[in-house]
Each structure stands twice: as structure tokens, then as C-alpha cells.
Structure 1
Amino acid sequence: MNQSKRYLDIVRDIRDMVRQEKLKPGDRIPSERELAEKMQVGRSTLREALRSLELLGLIETRRGEGTFLSDHRNHKLVEVLSTFILQDNRSHEDVWETRLLHEIAAIQTICQNRTTSQLNIWDSLRSRLKKDGFHREDFVRELMVLSGNRLSLKIWFLLTQYSGNPYDKTVSVNEVDYMDKTLVAIEKQDTTTAVHEFKAWSDWLKKERTRNGNHT
């Protein structure tokens, strides 16, 4: 298995493992070391995947005991959402728009927070945009995390996971400008421009997926 495997792929692998081994809520899952060895992935990426699952309420870590599957009702939420999303094209479109609403709300929140909008992370993100191999998902997830809204982050993660993730590729030269302008506007606390550029990037992604034969 590829060492550089993305954390969302690892999340799916863990979910498949749970199903195959018929683990139930309350059952212990393998340790971080055991999972890393079994999946042949880096510990840092695996840790990120486990953190995402914990944010979603699908697993819980008990100090000194290990990591366990959480209450089944949280799993039902995932299954219900995925079933709905897979129904038809209209549902896919609704998911795209709903995810975008959460992303825009995150940008607005960041722009309105002087401390967050002036963090050094924005310079770092702009620098990483110019390098090969930077993932779209890293860019958007950073915005969601920095907005500080944990519930919105949970919903966003689910919407992204079950809508044919539009952020599963690395950033191309054709989209860097949209993303860079978004970050510059955030640093200036220019909400209008930041949202405008992010929406323009989202529209570009949608057109790109249509050209490649994918659907939202």
C-alpha cells in the first residue's frame, strides 16, 4: 500500500475493516502502531485519519485503555447520509451546495476574527500552493478547522466523503490563482473578495469535473 496514501482513503479502509471484522460499538480497534503496520502507512497520516473519525464521533479514545467504536447511532448517521446522497443527481447537487455553504461560512468566520485572519498559517499555505503535490483537501480542511466550528467540520467531512470528493486531487496550475487570492483576501479580512474567489474556484472545480465525465 502506498506510504503517501491520503488520510481519507485510510478512513475508508478502517471503516471496511470494522465491517469485515464485524466490530460492534464498544469493541476495541487495533492500536495506532498495529494499524500503521497493517495498512503500511505513515503514523502521522494514520493519526490524522483517527482524529477525523474521533471528530465525527465514530470512535473514542480512553486514556490507558485504547480506542473503541462509539455508539451505533453515530454510525447510523453516516449510513443514512450516504444512502441519501447516492440516490440521484439532484441529491448530489444538494450536497455540493450544502458543503459550499459550510465552507463559505468558515471563510466568513475567519475573516471576522482578526487574530485568526493574521495567523502565520496563511503565508505557509500560500507557499505550499506553489509546490507540486499540495492537495485541495488540505487547503479546504484547514479553513474548516480554523473556523473553530466543530459541528460544521463534522458535517463538512461527511458531505465531502460521500459526494465523490472534489478535493481528492492535487492542485493544478489552473486553480492556484483562485486559491491564492482567497488567502490574500482572508489575511486582509476582506470577506467579500475571499468568498467571491472561493466561489469562483468551486465553479471551476464543478466545470472541471463535468469535463472529466464526473458528476456532483
Structure 2
Amino acid sequence: MENSRPSSKRFLDIVSDLRTIFKEEGAGIGDKLPSERVLADRLQVGRSTIREALRSLELLGLIETRRGEGTFLADYKKHQLVEILSTFIMQHPQSIRDVDRTRKIHEVAAIELVANHAELRALPVWESFLSKLEEAEPVIREDLLQEILVVAGNRLSLKIWFLLKQYSRVPFHEAMTENEREMASNLLKNMRAGNGQQAVADYAGWLELVNEERRGELEC
């Protein structure tokens, strides 16, 4: 049975601890890293937590996984954007609020762009999301936002958003609750109608609702 993740350990703490281990072992570019089991034992957390942290390090370009071989330290310095983001996120965890704010800038810009583009806001994908929301089918939070950024067509913005999302305080990987569905539906309806300002207001209300529910869960 896996160890449960200590409540005092935030996700960024786990990632930071992993980087410390790599440094202490003198791991160089191309060196193989310890297995998930070994890392989980050393940090006294579950393997699923280690797997999540390693995935985020991989998304930042700090490590790479080779199928059938293991995980290796990557030459992240070849990717200047990744280097800048990883340095800020990993060395300044107290700036997570800035990470959230920056992520929201990209989300708002994408919503406004789609709302102001007749061809993009008429795409059938929005009707598909609306049908799922109205019929109470599961909708993952990040799926909706990611689709909006993909449709907006700014690949650099999407890449930055994807990296920032991994360190957000919003549990994007979870399905929308019943209370969120109306907000998300209003966002889509106003975006499709070309009412970008109201769509952004709906988006802000939706995120606030998610954060309120999350705060309530943490207090329980």
C-alpha cells in the first residue's frame, strides 16, 4: 500500500525535494534518475505523487522519460522559454499567485479572441460542450479551457498556459461540479454570441466558484 501524501507537503515542495535529490546525487545531463519507488521511499510519499511531480518536471523540460529505459536528466538549457519558466516557478514557490495571474491572462485573451471571431465562435465543439453540461455528463475543467486556447490558435500562449496550469492552485484535472455547470454554460453561450465582456465575467465567476468550493474542502 502506498504512503499517503503528508498534508504539510505541498506539490511544489515535492518537486523541490526531487530537484534537491538530483543535485545531491550529482546527476548530470543524460544521467538516469532513481526509480519512482526509490524516490517515493526517500520522500515518504505515494508513488502516484512522485509520478505527478515527475510529469511536471518533464513538461518543464527538466527531465525526459525513455520508454523501457527510465527517466533521465534533460538538457533543459536548450529551451530558453522552459528555462525561464522553470527557474521562476521552481525557485520562487511563494510567487504561485503570480503564476495563477499569468495563467488567467492567457485564458481571458483566448476567450475574448474566440468571442470576437465569428468563424471560431461558430465551431460545433462549443455545442458539444453545452450538450454535455446541460445533460449532466462529466466535463473536466481543463478540457474546456484547453479547447478555448487551442481554438484561439496562439501556440505559444497554449504552451505557456499548459506549463503554468501544472502549478495552479485550481484543481483543473477534476470534473465540474453541479454548481459550476451553469457558470460554464453561460460562458460558452456568451462567447458564442460574441459577447466577450460577459463571457469573461462568466469565466471569472466560474473560477471564483471553483476556488470557494476548494477552500470549503480544505477547511473540512
TM-score, structure 2 normalization: 0.62
Residues 178 and 147 of structure 1: is their aligned pair in 2 closer, same or farther, counting only changes over 3 Å? same
Alignment of 1:112-191 (within 5 A): 112-129=116-133, 130-191=135-196
Query: Is the contact made by 2:110 and 2:149 (CA closer than 8 Å) also made in structure 1?
Result: yes
Distance 1:104 1:163 in 2: 16
User: Counterpart amino acid of 2:174?
Assistant: K
RMSD: 3.2
User: Counterpart amino acid of 1:202?
Assistant: L
Q: Aligned with 2:172: secondary structure? A: coil
Q: Aligned with 2:102: secondary structure? A: helix
Deviation sequence 1:118-172 (CA, Å, 0-9, x none)? 1111100111223443211101111111111111111111111012443121111
User: Counterpart amino acid of 2:142?
Assistant: E
User: Counterpart amino acid of 2:131?
Assistant: S
Query: Is the contact made by 2:61 and 2:76 (CA closer than 8 Å) also made in structure 1?
Result: no
User: Counterpart amino acid of 2:89?
Assistant: S
Residues 165 and 203 of structure 1: is their aligned pair in 2 closer, same or farther, counting only changes over 3 Å? closer
Query: Is the contact made by 1:85 and 1:163 (CA closer than 8 Å) also made in structure 2?
Result: no
Q: Aligned with 1:175: secondary structure? A: helix
- The structure number with the bigger radius of gyration is 2
Residues 213 and 131 of structure 1: is their aligned pair in 2 closer, same or farther, counting only changes over 3 Å? same
User: Counterpart amino acid of 2:124?
Assistant: N
Q: CA deviation at 1:102?
A: 1.0
Gaps of 5+ in 2: 1-17, 31-54, 64-72
For residue 101 of structure 1, the aligned residue among 99, 102, 105 is: 105
Gaps of 5+ in 1: 1-15, 26-48, 60-68
User: Counterpart amino acid of 1:115?
Assistant: E
Seq. identity, %: 33
Residues 85 and 104 of structure 1: is their aligned pair in 2 closer, same or farther, counting only changes over 3 Å? farther
Deviation sequence 1:52-93 (CA, Å, 0-9, x none)? 95xx7789xxxxxxxxx985223534531331452x2xx222
Q: Aligned with 2:176: secondary structure? A: coil
Distance 1:170 1:192 in 2: 25
Distance 1:179 1:192 in 2: 15
Residue number in structure 1 paired with 2:199: 194
Residues 85 and 194 of structure 1: is their aligned pair in 2 closer, same or farther, counting only changes over 3 Å? farther
Distance 2:170 2:87 in 1: 18
Distance 1:145 1:177 in 2: 23
Residues 23 and 125 of structure 1: is their aligned pair in 2 closer, same or farther, counting only changes over 3 Å? farther
Q: Which runs of 4+ in 1 moved over 6 A?
A: 56-59
